[in-house]
């Protein structure tokens, strides 16, 4: 087909994820910005529901338009493509940043040092996410730590062990962030910290760090995905810079769909 009836085929619906996700807000913006999306809707429920709908569509080679992101196993499992986004609503390449509460550097300098150094590659995160398909995140993260002792040693070099100092890491409820949070937890625990992981929505994550309810988060996707939340609390937390490069969000379709751009989604 030439893509002219895609809208009708998918009932003018973008299959989204949780209402509180950054990508949900970006998709709401896309619905406003692209004139050709007039009359389209975003359906929000959960990542699990989106993945089920995607699996069903692919099984039947039916069209589907999802709110998608990478790193994520769906790209390894299925043939998928990002739709071009000529208006740049979803931003370009994203990075994941580490933010900490003000005062952490002075109060828990050893944790600060480790968090400041924590960075890894897309492949590292993906290997934890893949392993976690068959086991708990705790185990998958432990496996990564065991296999990457050199990298971990770089983060902990010269850091004095502590005796049960508590530290709270705030994360968002997606596998990318479960991976980084569990790896950081293990590394901090090996240094004697007592680590609590608290999953919250992206908007709450920035607020929690700004208000000092949590110590740190490895979960902000920037500059676009969580950019609005970031700006709202800017100056009220410390940004330690990227811990992973090369993330991305956007509208995603199976490669068998004969469209390339968001502008090919017809009203």
Q: Site residues (CB under 6 A) for ligand PBE?
A: 17, 21-23, 69, 172, 174, 176, 202, 221, 225, 249
DSSP 160: P
Minimum distance, C-beta of residue 191 to ligand PBE, in the bound complex (Å): 27
Minimum distance, C-beta of residue 201 to ligand PBE, in the bound complex (Å): 8
Name which of 70 and 142 has its Cβ closer to ligand PBE: 70
Minimum distance, C-beta of residue 47 to ligand PBE, in the bound complex (Å): 7
Name which of 63 and 91 has its Cβ closer to ligand PBE: 91
Minimum distance, C-beta of residue 219 to ligand PBE, in the bound complex (Å): 7
Helices (H), 78-136: 104-107, 109-117, 122-131
Name which of 42 and 176 has its Cβ closer to ligand PBE: 176
Evaluate whether 104 touches 111 at the Cβ level (below 8 Å). yes
Minimum distance, C-beta of residue 215 to ligand PBE, in the bound complex (Å): 20
Name which of 137 and 193 has its Cβ closer to ligand PBE: 137
Strands 66-70 and 238-254: antiparallel
Q: Which residues contact 79 (CB under 8 A, 6 or more apart)?
A: 254, 255, 256
Distance of CA 264 to the CA centre of its chain: 27
Name which of 6 and 224 has its Cβ closer to ligand PBE: 224
Helix (H, G, I), strand (E, B) or coil at 138: helix
Evaluate whether 164 touches 189 at the Cβ level (below 8 Å). no
Q: Which residues contact 175 (CB under 8 A, 6 or more apart)?
A: 72, 73, 129, 132
Name which of 7 and 91 has its Cβ closer to ligand PBE: 91
Return the structure tokens found at 63. Answer: 């069209």
Evaluate whether 65 touches 57 at the Cβ level (below 8 Å). no
Q: Is 136 left (phi over 0), alpha (psi -120 to 50) or beta?
A: beta
Minimum distance, C-beta of residue 146 to ligand PBE, in the bound complex (Å): 26
Minimum distance, C-beta of residue 45 to ligand PBE, in the bound complex (Å): 13
Name which of 50 and 259 has its Cβ closer to ligand PBE: 50
Q: Which helix (H) or strand (E) holds 77?
A: helix 74-77
């Amino acid at each position: 087909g030439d893509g002219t009836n895609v809208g009708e085929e998918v009932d003018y619906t973008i299959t989204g994820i949780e209402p509180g996700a950054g990508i949900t807000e970006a998709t709401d913006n896309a619905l406003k910005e692209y004139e050709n999306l007039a009359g389209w809707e975003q359906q929000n429920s959960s990542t699990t529901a989106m993945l089920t709908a995607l699996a069903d569509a692919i099984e039947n080679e039916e069209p589907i338009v999802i709110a998608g992101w990478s790193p994520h196993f769906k790209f390894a499992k299925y043939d998928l493509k990002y739709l071009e986004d000529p208006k740049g609503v979803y931003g370009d390449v994203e990075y994941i940043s580490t933010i900490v509460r003000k005062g952490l550097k002075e109060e828990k300098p050893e944790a600060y040092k480790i968090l400041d150094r924590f960075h890894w590659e897309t492949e590292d995160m993906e290997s934890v996410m893949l392993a976690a398909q068959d086991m708990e995140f705790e185990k998958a993260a432990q496996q990564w730590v065991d296999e990457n002792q050199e990298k971990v040693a770089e983060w902990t070099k010269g850091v004095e062990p502590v005796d049960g100092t508590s530290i709270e890491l705030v994360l968002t409820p997606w596998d990318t962030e479960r991976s980084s949070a569990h790896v950081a937890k293990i590394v901090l625990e090996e240094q004697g910290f007592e680590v609590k992981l608290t999953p919250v929505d992206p908007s709450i994550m920035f607020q929690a760090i700004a208000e000092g309810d949590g110590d740190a988060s490895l979960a902000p996707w920037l500059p676009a995905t969580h950019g609005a939340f970031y700006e709202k609390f800017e100056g009220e937390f410390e940004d330690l810079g990227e811990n992973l490069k090369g993330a991305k969000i956007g509208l995603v379709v199976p490669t068998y769909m004969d469209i390339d751009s968001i502008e090919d989604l017809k009203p």
